[in-house]
């Protein structure tokens, strides 16, 4: 964006909101403390980034114009609704607000292509703000019902939100085998001969309609498949898969599927029976006593008895 000579202060919004806790009824600062602690616990970043980021956002009144530049994937769509909800909660007159969001990945564009996206700039309206307020509240709910209900609403003002809603629902355990979509894709790839974790990650990206997950989140998925009892995948004897992954990436890590993994893919075994789930999706804390399952065939979500 700098090389494209796009003017103004550039503020990256770096948070993997599809991963980790986003409880409700918290201020931006309170939520940022929880999010930054989650990032630190995963060895993913510096908590000071959140303080600097939030302070810059809160100073938006100092500008005549604010433009949101985002992508169409789940990672970015969740960030959009967080920021627009904050603006909805902190209205200010006299500031021109607009958004640029197409089906292109910003990080892959040349400076010339980036500058060309200015033609897609559109004003942010009250409809954008109200929808984001509703969606952000739904994401932070302690059950996925409100998030699911967004599929029955008119979300066309944010044209990529519906796809993001579905993709996040697909990260809930499957009613059939207990795996999230990402975990099932990874397990199938290993079963089909992709043995090195790096290759599994690369091929998994190819299976996504809109790529959203970075490798750090993906390695956590792989680790969970290795750590269940019995494991669904294994490494050769003496090899370890530790996080964070050392650099350069070890070349001698070879994943293979186990009989339990084969049974899970065949629907003969539910992974929830052999794993101790403890995971947050938005405001939903998935635990052995609070499991919600996604039915891909009927596109419904339900609490597991």
CATH of the domain at 234: 1.10.10
Are 269 and 260 contacting, i.e. CB atoms less than 8 angstroms apart?
yes
Q: Is residue 40 part of a domain?
A: yes
Domain limits for position 63: 20-161
Considering the domain architecture, whether residues 129 and 28 belong to the same structural domain is answered as yes
Are 163 and 76 contacting, i.e. CB atoms less than 8 angstroms apart?
no
Considering the domain architecture, whether residues 255 and 201 belong to the same structural domain is answered as yes
Element (H or E) spanning 256, and its range?
strand 256-257
Q: Is residue 296 part of a domain?
A: no
The 10s digit of each residue's pLDDT in 34-73 is: 999 999 999 887 777 899 899 999 999 899 999 999 999 9
Task: Please count the other Cβ atoms lying within 10 Å of the Cβ belonging to residue 282.
Answer: 26
114: number of CA atoms within 13 Å, CB side? 15
pLDDT value of residue 250:
81
Considering the domain architecture, whether residues 30 and 156 belong to the same structural domain is answered as yes
| The total number of structural domains that make up the chain | 2
Considering the domain architecture, whether residues 41 and 107 belong to the same structural domain is answered as yes
Considering the domain architecture, whether residues 153 and 188 belong to the same structural domain is answered as no
Residue 207 has pLDDT above 90, yes or no: yes
Q: Is residue 282 part of a domain?
A: no
Burial class of residue 156 in the structure, from the number of CB atoms within 10 Å of its CB (0-12 exposed, 13-18 middle, 19+ buried): exposed
| Alpha-carbon Rg for the chain in angstroms | 20
Considering the domain architecture, whether residues 148 and 213 belong to the same structural domain is answered as no
User: Of all residues in the chain, what percent carry a pLDDT higher than 90?
Assistant: 87
Mean pLDDT for all residues in the chain: 95
What's this model's pTM, rounded to 2 decimal places?
0.95
| CA 208 – CA 167 distance, rounded (Å) | 9
The 10s digit of each residue's pLDDT in 1-40 is: 999 999 999 999 989 999 999 999 999 999 999 999 999 9
Residue 82 has pLDDT above 80, yes or no: yes
| Residue 125 pLDDT class (50, 70, 90 cuts) | very high
Torsion of CA 14, 212, 77, 98, to 10 degrees: 70
């Amino acid at each position: 964006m700098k090389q494209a000579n796009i003017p103004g202060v550039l503020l990256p919004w770096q948070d993997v909101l599809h991963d980790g806790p986003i409880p409700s009824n918290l201020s931006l600062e309170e939520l940022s403390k929880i999010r930054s602690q989650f990032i630190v616990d995963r060895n993913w970043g510096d908590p000071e980034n959140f303080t600097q980021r939030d302070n810059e956002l809160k100073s938006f009144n100092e500008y005549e114009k604010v433009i949101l530049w985002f992508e169409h994937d789940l990672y970015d769509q969740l960030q959009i609704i967080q920021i627009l909800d904050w603006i909805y909660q902190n209205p200010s007159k006299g500031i021109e607000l607009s958004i640029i969001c197409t089906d292109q990945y910003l990080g892959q564009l040349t400076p010339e292509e980036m500058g060309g996206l200015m033609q897609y700039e559109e004003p942010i309206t009250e409809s954008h703000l109200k929808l984001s307020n509703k969606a952000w509240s739904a994401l932070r709910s302690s059950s996925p019902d409100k998030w699911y209900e967004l599929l029955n609403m008119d979300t066309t003002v944010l044209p990529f939100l519906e796809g993001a809603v579905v993709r996040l629902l697909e990260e809930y355990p499957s009613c059939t085998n207990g795996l999230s979509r990402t975990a099932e894709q990874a397990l199938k790839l290993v079963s089909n001969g992709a043995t090195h974790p790096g290759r599994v990650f690369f091929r998994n990206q190819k299976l996504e309609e809109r790529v959203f997950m970075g490798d750090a989140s993906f390695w956590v998925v792989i680790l969970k498949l290795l750590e269940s009892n019995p494991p669904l995948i294994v490494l050769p004897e003496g090899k370890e898969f530790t996080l964070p992954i050392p650099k350069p990436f070890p070349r001698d890590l070879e994943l293979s599927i186990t009989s339990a993994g084969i049974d899970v893919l065949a629907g003969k075994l539910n992974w929830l029976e052999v794993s101790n789930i403890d995971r947050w999706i938005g405001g939903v804390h998935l635990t052995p006593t609070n499991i919600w399952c996604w039915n891909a065939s009927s596109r419904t979500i339900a609490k597991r008895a």
